[in-house]
Amino acid sequence: MNAYELIFWLLTVMAISCALGVILSRNPVSSVLFLIATFFAVSGHYILMNAQFLAIVNIIVYAGAIMVLFLFVIMLMNLNADTEPQKNRLVQLAGVVSGGILFLVILAALKSSTNNMLEQTATDIGLIKNLGKTLFTQFVLPFEIASVLFLSAMIGAVVLGKKGEEGTA
Amino acid sequence: MPIQYYLFLSLALFSIGIMGTLMRRNAIIIFMCIELMLNAVNLLLVAFSKMYNDSSAQIFVFFSMVVAAAEVAVGLAIIVMMYRKVHSVDINILNRLKH
């Protein structure tokens, strides 16, 4: 087992255990912190696969912006006590069983699929230079549409979040 | 590293996200589980991008992050608005769409 595989297994164990922590912890704030740890593990996987740009974007956008937004909302609503009423045991069991069955079915379907190897050679397709070239030549129209999407999302969030007069909001 | 390891890892993360969505009653936790599922798919896209040595998949991951950010902004605004009205984020109370 070389260093590459060691890092792979460490990041995998960290990602899965933190993801379990997200759904099992009672306190919403610790759920958010577990989710941030999961995103860091996924970013580690990106670096392992030579996608450095996406690793940085994942940390900045997900762990930096989105999770802070979640944390703000949880603290604004004063939910950081574990007062959440739980679903009854039967519904929880049904959720776990159906998730587990999905896992098993896809696992069985993929077990005998192609066994291509990911080479551990360094490629430079994940660097900003090459991604930028692809983004601004092949995918320039979706990029511009994304800016319109952001504008409409921003306006929508402001309109929804505004304290409307009674009866209009 | 065989590609299957990445397939199974993202499958496990996706299934955990589905279990969380079905188990919890807090709307914000359910929202976070959806983010977890999005991230699992992103991880798989990056693995295939490395396998085929093609950067288009990484651009797709970039766009899915863009959409996720917009979705979180609007979704959290909706949750805050509902919280102002009914003072709860419990989905068993929010399931009426009208109060």
Burial class (CB in 10 A: 0-12, 13-18, 19+), B1: middle
Domains and CATH numbers, chain A: 1-85 (1.20.120.1200)
Q: How many CB atoms lie within 10 A of CB A109?
A: 9
Q: What pLDDT does A80 receive?
A: 64
* pLDDT above 50: residue A169: no
Which of A5-9, B5-9, B54-58, B89-93 comes out lowest in average pLDDT? B89-93
Question: What is the average pLDDT score of chain B?
Answer: 88
CA angle, corner A80, sides to A74 and A82, nearest 5?
A: 125
- Which positions in chain B touch A100 (Cβ < 8 Å)? 15, 19
For chain B, give every domain's residue range: 3-96
**Whether B58 and A169 lie within 8 Å, measured CB to CB:** no
Hey, what's the torsion of the CAs at A31, A34, A35, A41, to 10 degrees?
Answer: -170
A-facing residues of B in 5-24 (CB < 8 A) are: 5-9, 11-13, 15-24
At A33, the amino acid letter reads: L
- Of residues B13, B18, B66, nearest to A16 (C-beta): B13
CB B32 within 8 A of CB A70: yes
d(CA A23, nearest CA chain B) in Å: 5
Which of A93-102, A115-124, B35-44, B68-77 comes out lowest in average pLDDT? A115-124
Best CA proximity match to B40, nearest among B72, B63, B17: B17
Give me the phi and psi of B66, to 5 degrees please: -60, -50
Tell me the pLDDT tens digit for each residue of A60-102. 998 888 999 999 888 888 776 666 666 678 888 999 999 999 9
Buried b (16+ CB within 10 A) or exposed e, A57-86: bbbebbbeebbebbbebbeebebeeeebee
CA contacts within 13 A on the Cβ side of A131: 21
CB B42 within 8 A of CB A42: yes
Tokens of A47: 């670096």
Compare all CA atoms of chain B with the CA of A39 and give the residue at the minimum distance: B39
* Fold classified for B3-96: Helix Hairpins (1.10.287)
Tokens of B65: 């992050």
Tell me the pLDDT tens digit for each residue of B59-84. 999 999 999 999 999 999 988 888 88
Which of A76-85, A150-159, B49-58, B67-76 comes out lowest in average pLDDT? A76-85
Which of A27-31, A60-64, A128-132, B94-98 comes out lowest in average pLDDT? B94-98
**Whether B9 and A15 lie within 8 Å, measured CB to CB:** yes
Cβ-Cβ contacts under 8 Å for A6 (sequence gap 6 or more): none
* pLDDT above 60: residue A168: no
Question: Roughly how many angstroms between the first and final C-alpha of chain B, as a whole number?
Answer: 54
Tokens of B26: 């807090």
- Which positions in chain A touch B80 (Cβ < 8 Å)? 73, 76-77, 160-161
- Which positions in chain A touch B98 (Cβ < 8 Å)? none
Compare all CA atoms of chain B with the CA of A163 and give the residue at the minimum distance: B81
Beta bridge partners of B90: B26
CB A11 within 8 A of CB A45: yes
Compare all CA atoms of chain A with the CA of B29 and give the residue at the minimum distance: A28
Compare all CA atoms of chain A with the CA of B70 and give the residue at the minimum distance: A153
